[in-house]
């Protein structure tokens, strides 16, 4: 049993499985700058970082108060991806563009909703670094006029390794339509982080590499203790 744990921990460590964007107090800037500092210090080794081989599309080119749309991340030219971290942001440069807007729902398996800027489910990311070609979830607008918005993502290609990623992958702008919409929609007032501290959604997705290393160390210590003492 201990050896199984040790083996699993070692395999996970070597392969670099991740449990998703480690939002939370350990990485206080992650929700805002969306830079994966656990991947080569946040410096992508991808060749053409200005031309990400990914598109982000929405099922509508406008949103209304409380309305929902489907957001899809797709690899182009046969490219796939292993990790992603996405938020909606205000697109009007005259407004605060650094906070997540609206909320995500219906995350498929192997993905998770995340809390950024003190708003639950305001970000969406992977929870397992499996290879994928396309993935979608629902995004719901807040009740107030946020002006035009766009989706912004960090996408980890993962090939040849996790140091290959793309920042600032953007959708087209989605404009606000004041005509329709749900009048009783909940009002969302994202809090601009002054302390920079964000709260994880559920128990806190941790950075699995360090967790794996810790697990491996604990398992190795226990295994050697058991073999010495022959229990
Ligand atoms: C806004 O939404 C209303 C109601 O659905 C629609 O009739 C109108 O054409 C939309 N306006 C724009 C500018 O798209």
Task: Indicate the pLDDT class of residue 220, thresholds 50, 70 and 90.
Answer: very low
CA of 135 to the centre of ligand 1 (A): 28
- Best of 178, 180, 181, 183 for a ligand 1 pocket test (most atoms within 8 Å of beta carbon): 180
Mean pLDDT of 199-216: 45
Give the pLDDT confidence of 43-73 residue by residue, as tens digits.
999 989 999 999 999 999 999 999 999 999 9
Helix (H) or strand (E) holding 2: helix 2-15
DSSP character at residue 4? H
CA–CA distance from 50 to each of 53, 102, 167 (Å)? 10, 27, 9
Is the beta carbon of 186 within 6 A of some atom in ligand 1?
A: no
Structure-model confidence comparison of residues 169 and 13, the more confident one: 169
Q: For residue 180, what pLDDT is reported? A: 78
Give the pLDDT confidence of 125-176 residue by residue, as tens digits.
999 999 999 999 999 999 999 999 999 999 999 999 999 999 999 999 999 9
Whether pLDDT at 97 is above 70: yes
Q: Is the separation of the CB atoms in 84 and 125 below 8 Å?
A: yes
CA of 56 to the centre of ligand 1 (A): 23
Q: For residue 228, what pLDDT is reported? A: 40
Q: Is the separation of the CB atoms in 79 and 53 below 8 Å?
A: yes
Q: Is the separation of the CB atoms in 71 and 136 below 8 Å?
A: yes
Rounded to an integer, what distance in angstroms lies between the CA atom of residue 146 and that of residue 169?
Answer: 20
CA of 63 to the centre of ligand 1 (A): 10
Helix (H) or strand (E) holding 149: strand 149-156
Name the residue with the closest Cα to ligand 1, atom 7. 179
Is the beta carbon of 179 within 6 A of some atom in ligand 1?
A: yes
Rounded to an integer, what distance in angstroms lies between the CA atom of residue 156 and that of residue 133?
Answer: 12
- Best of 173, 177, 181 for a ligand 1 pocket test (most atoms within 8 Å of beta carbon): 177
pTM greater than 0.85: no
């Amino acid at each position: 049993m201990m050896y199984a744990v040790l083996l699993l921990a070692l395999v996970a460590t070597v392969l670099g499985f991740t449990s998703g964007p480690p939002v939370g107090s350990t990485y206080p800037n992650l929700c805002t700058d969306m830079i994966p500092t656990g991947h080569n210090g946040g410096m992508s080794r991808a060749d053409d970082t200005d031309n990400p081989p990914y598109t982000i599309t929405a099922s509508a080119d406008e949103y209304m108060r409380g309305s929902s749309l489907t957001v899809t991340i797709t690899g182009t030219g046969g490219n796939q991806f292993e990790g992603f971290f996405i938020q909606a942001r205000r697109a009007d440069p005259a407004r605060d563009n650094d906070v997540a807007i609206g909320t995500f729902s219906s995350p498929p398996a192997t993905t998770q909703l995340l809390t950024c800027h003190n708003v639950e489910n305001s970000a969406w990311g992977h929870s397992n670094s499996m290879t994928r070609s396309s993935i979608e979830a629902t995004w719901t607008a807040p009740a107030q006029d946020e002006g035009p918005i766009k989706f912004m993502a960090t996408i980890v290609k993962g090939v040849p390794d996790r140091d290959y990623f793309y920042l600032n992958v953007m959708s087209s702008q989605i404009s606000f339509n004041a005509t329709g919409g749900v009048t009783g929609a909940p009002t969302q007032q994202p809090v601009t982080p002054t302390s920079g501290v964000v709260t994880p959604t559920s128990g806190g997705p941790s950075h699995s590499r360090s967790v794996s290393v810790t697990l491996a160390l604990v398992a190795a210590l226990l295994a050697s203790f058991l073999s010495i003492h022959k229990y």
